Chains A and B, each alone.
Chain A
Amino acid sequence: SMSSEQNELTQTPLLKIWVPWVHSTLSRRRGSSVPQFTNSPTVIVMVGLPARGKTYISKKLARYLNWIGVNTAVFNLGQYRREAVQTYKNYEFFRPDNEEAMKIRRNCASNALTDIGAYFTKEQGQVAVFDATNTTRERRGLILSFAKEKGYKVFFVESVCDDPDIIEQNIMQVKLSSPDYENCDKEEALEDFLKRIECYKMTYVPLDEEKDRHLSYIKIFNVGSRYLVNRVQDHIQSRIVYYLMNIHVTPRSIYLSRHGESDLNLLGRIGGDSGLSTRGQMYASALAAFVQSQSIRDLKVWTSHMKRTIQTAEALGVPYEQWKALNEIDAGMCEEMTYEEIQDHHPEEFALRDQDKYRYRYPKGESYEDMVHRLEPVIMELERQENVLVICHQAVMRCLLAYFLDKSADELPYLRCPLHTVLKLTPVAYGCKVESIFLNVQAVNTHREKPPNVDINRKTEDALQTVPEHV
């Protein structure tokens, strides 16, 4: 109805989002403040023989989606089975003629689907990844009926691989350490697992170009040298396809570091575009020596557009790329202030920030949540690349680190990223190994913990309790 209401707008104090204000209560907002990825929950269904990277993809995809703000959970059928069967004997459990086992496995699948339903309806889940072989048309049909009944979208991700080296590498990396093989030696485990794969091969019906032409799916061949993409339905599926097409498994390391200590750091002031202090310059030299000592193959170096990261990179004596997207969080009206000054001039803002540091947006500035969106192309390119050194800033580094280490939105803004310390991230198995290397040049501490009192009426001493020392 064309009502003549020209509602007054009010800006929510935390997110700084303009919303209509009716009778001093927030009316049901017509405007959503984040673009809609999809209008119904989505079930991503993995398909493929064992040791084809399904769990690797599931976990990575879930990590990515959660990081960009899409609530995602992985439902690994193997775990349901381990809960149901307690002790794994050997591959015979997976024989297609093992009626007893078939019954258990079907039950597990059913339970997993029920849990998926609960995740969507009760836990605000948006995407569920159903990590199982799903190698028969019958099983996939079951999932499709379930989804259709509930109004969920379905997107299949099939991993096809016939390279025996890759498969063996897989098994070595992640299967031998599985709970299933706790009490076996490597050779026994390998042999049993290969027989397990054979059990599935007998009944494996891959997604078919003709018969499955109405389904939405991506088929990944040989770890990404080829993809077949069919009927992408919406934005989130398009993003998922793009992501899957950019990731790779080539071993490499990502080095994250902040710029050297800056003049404003020393003064306890946030933001700005100052240059390096003397110690900061020393760090830059130390970083150069460190990079050389690592003998990194084809290292790419990225900085922000801010003077302090560029000065740091300059000391390395190698080419580097400047990314505006790597600029430090924009503190808007609080740029170049000390925390004491922020408390003095904007005590309410200061308290709101402590209440929800992830979503809090500085007046005329940004929030951590905004930064994640701006950093998404950086993450995408990091996935494409191999060895990279990213010289950035505290808040930026926290966001990137949270992506690699699967940290929640609540943990993210409090991750420790001290000056003059390099974090070396190396993908291993399903996660990331982190090595923290302090380069032995002293620097001021810039990490402010969440104080116990976050109330807007708190006393100044309480607000400033956790402010690190500065000049």
Chain B
Amino acid sequence: CSVSKNNTNDMPMETSPRELTQNPLRKIWMPYKNGLPEKHISQRKVCMTNCPTLIVMVGLPARGKTYISKKLTRYLNWIGVPTKEFNVGQYRRECLKIYKNFEFFRPDNEEGLKIRRQCALSALNDVRQYLCMEGGQVAVFDATNTTRERRDTITRFAEQNGFKVFFVESVCEDPDVIAENIVQVKLGSPDYIDCNTEEAVADFMKRIKCYENSYQPLDEGLDRELSYIKIMDVGRRYLVNRVLDHIQSRIVYYLMNIHITPRSIYLCRHGESDLNVRGRIGGDSGLTSRGKEYAKSLGHFIQEQNIKDLKVWTSQMKRTIQTAEALAVPYEQWKALNEIDAGVCEEMMYEEIQEHFPLEFALRDQDKYRYRYPKGESYEDLVQRLEPVIMELERQENVLVICHQAVMRCLLAYFLDKSAEELPYLKCPLHTVLKLTPVAYGCKVESIFLNVEAVNTHRDKPENVDISRPTEEALLTVPAHQ
């Protein structure tokens, strides 16, 4: 037999390299043909997987599955991986309308079992729709999935559709944790709308019992071919098996860093800066006298709040550090918290940007999240840069982050689950502290204005975003400045 020297027939040979053009919005270099950009340029999107992933929650009721599902979904969406959760309990409530009591969940309740099975299948159907037709990349299937039989059904479903499966099991026997769980999220459930606390708790405990007898936890031996993480005792211990790809590795890392210890995160901007007052963006200026006053007020505020072991983080820009200095406590400087780099537009006023770069100015209004300043950054870039900050915020307890407008918008969007469209327009005014406290499945926000006046730096999206718009329309929403 003869061996061909090289596969000249198979390999793409010496075609002249395609011409490149820089996409005007995102400033991404892409090849073009006949004046049009070619499709599918591979961008470094964090999801490094070549097929959709189905995350399957496993565990008895009140083990934090929904908490984990929602948090994970929020994180993945924030880093740019389209993710959606499918809570089978919701399907059941839609099907059943009225929840009577725990008897519905008795393992010998044929009628109940039928309905529950139908709900699970209906949810899986929606999962398929989301992953195959709606551009979803990850679906989180939030249900008890406590029997091997149910998990096998799901695994077969995933195989048929070309999805990867990753199980997340939460195991917890601590009665205090379970009780706290029930109080925090179950009592407020639609199921118990007309019950008093005691009735609800009693019923829910019986509900758990219904699942306990048939519960088959993921087994080191029997399930050794599956990909999963077993979370034990709210994160004290983890068993991780067969992580297949990048996204699963990131999910594991995230799950191993989150905790449920009560704490608060304080977000605020630096005090008013010299460039703020002059309506100029970016730069590295110092605080105005009002900014310094704010820093002092912030110091007082922090003291009054009596926060246990508060960590203070700033960026590496002068104005946040000046602000932190007034607190007279140790702080850490993070370069990753620096304000968005406006590239060639650094230190310009919006009026000047309109004058010198009207096209850029319009493109930014068309898609503020993805728009990258020439030789600068986009909000999308910021999110990638801030991911390690978010990861460390998850690990920490009480933290005060003194940062910048665009940065604060990105962080806030993560905590409040805001979309990429909303993110760049979130209101983060100067001299206002946002206190975020995790509660139930979300985050309570308290906004505290520290009573020192400051210029407004928030520019709303104008009505006319066309590249040929007149100057007045471009500058319609620019806030007043010196």
* CB contact under 8 A between A317 and B15, given known A245-B252, A307-B22, A324-B381: yes
CB < 8 Å: which of B246, B325, B346 contacts A6? B325
* CB contact under 8 A between A17 and B237, given known A30-B331, A31-B324, A292-B6: no
Binary CB contact string for chain A from 296 to 338 against chain B (1 if under 8 A, 0 otherwise): 0000000001110011001101111111110000000001000
Answer yes or no: B114 CB below 8 A from chain A CBs.
no
B42 pairs with A31, CB closer than 8 A: no
C-alpha gap A186/B318 in the complex (Å): 64
C-alpha gap A2/B304 in the complex (Å): 12
Identify which of B196-204, B332-340, B444-452 touches chain A.
B332-340
Answer yes or no: A3 CB below 8 A from chain B CBs.
yes
Instruction: Assign chain B's interface to a size class.
Output: 35 or more
A370 pairs with B335, CB closer than 8 A: yes
Residues of B344-395 at the interface with A, using a CB-CB cut-off of 8 Å, are 346, 375, 381, 384, 392, 395
A9 pairs with B322, CB closer than 8 A: yes
A225 pairs with B242, CB closer than 8 A: yes
B17 pairs with A315, CB closer than 8 A: yes
CB < 8 Å: which of A11, A226, A241, A317 contacts B318? A11
Q: What total of chain A residues lie within 8 Å of the partner, measured CB to CB? A: 66
CB < 8 Å: which of B48, B246, B318 contacts A9? B318
Identify which of A59-67, A82-90, A228-236, A425-433 touches chain B.
A228-236
A6 pairs with B326, CB closer than 8 A: yes
CB < 8 Å: which of A9, A284, A322 contacts B17? A284
B253 pairs with A242, CB closer than 8 A: yes
A32 pairs with B333, CB closer than 8 A: yes
A314 pairs with B395, CB closer than 8 A: no
Residues of B289-326 at the interface with A, using a CB-CB cut-off of 8 Å, are 292, 295-296, 299-300, 303, 313-314, 316-318, 321-322, 324-326
C-alpha gap A9/B273 in the complex (Å): 14
B42 pairs with A33, CB closer than 8 A: no
Shortest distance between the CB of A283 and any CB in chain B (Å): 11
Listed residue (B29, B237, B243) with the most chain A CB atoms within 10 angstroms of its CB:
B29
A35 pairs with B20, CB closer than 8 A: no
Answer yes or no: B14 CB below 8 A from chain A CBs.
yes
A311 pairs with B256, CB closer than 8 A: no
* CB contact under 8 A between A226 and B239, given known A9-B321, A384-B246: yes
Answer yes or no: A281 CB below 8 A from chain B CBs.
yes
Shortest distance between the CB of B9 and any CB in chain A (Å): 12
Answer yes or no: A288 CB below 8 A from chain B CBs.
yes
Residues of B212-265 at the interface with A, using a CB-CB cut-off of 8 Å, are 220, 224, 236-243, 246, 249, 252-253, 256-257
B321 pairs with A31, CB closer than 8 A: yes
* CB contact under 8 A between A314 and B18, given known A9-B318, A11-B318, A242-B253: yes
C-alpha gap A370/B15 in the complex (Å): 38
Answer yes or no: B443 CB below 8 A from chain A CBs.
no
C-alpha gap A457/B332 in the complex (Å): 34
B14 pairs with A285, CB closer than 8 A: yes
B330 pairs with A31, CB closer than 8 A: yes
Residue of A nearest to B334 (CB): A35
A residues in contact with B334, CB < 8 Å: 35
Shortest distance between the CB of B35 and any CB in chain A (Å): 17
A residues in contact with B330, CB < 8 Å: 30-32
Residue of B nearest to A209 (CB): B237
Residue of B nearest to A323 (CB): B44
C-alpha gap A242/B239 in the complex (Å): 13
Answer yes or no: A1 CB below 8 A from chain B CBs.
yes
List 19 additional A-B contacts (Cβ < 8 Å) besides A30-B331, A238-B257, A281-B17.
A5-B328, A11-B318, A18-B318, A18-B322, A30-B325, A30-B330, A34-B332, A35-B334, A228-B240, A245-B243, A288-B14, A292-B11, A307-B22, A317-B15, A319-B42, A323-B44, A325-B384, A364-B346, A370-B335
User: Can you give 23 A-B contacts (C-beta < 8 A)?
Assistant: A3-B328, A6-B322, A6-B325, A16-B316, A30-B328, A31-B314, A31-B321, A31-B324, A33-B316, A34-B332, A35-B332, A225-B242, A228-B237, A229-B237, A238-B395, A245-B240, A245-B252, A317-B11, A317-B13, A317-B15, A321-B43, A321-B44, A364-B284
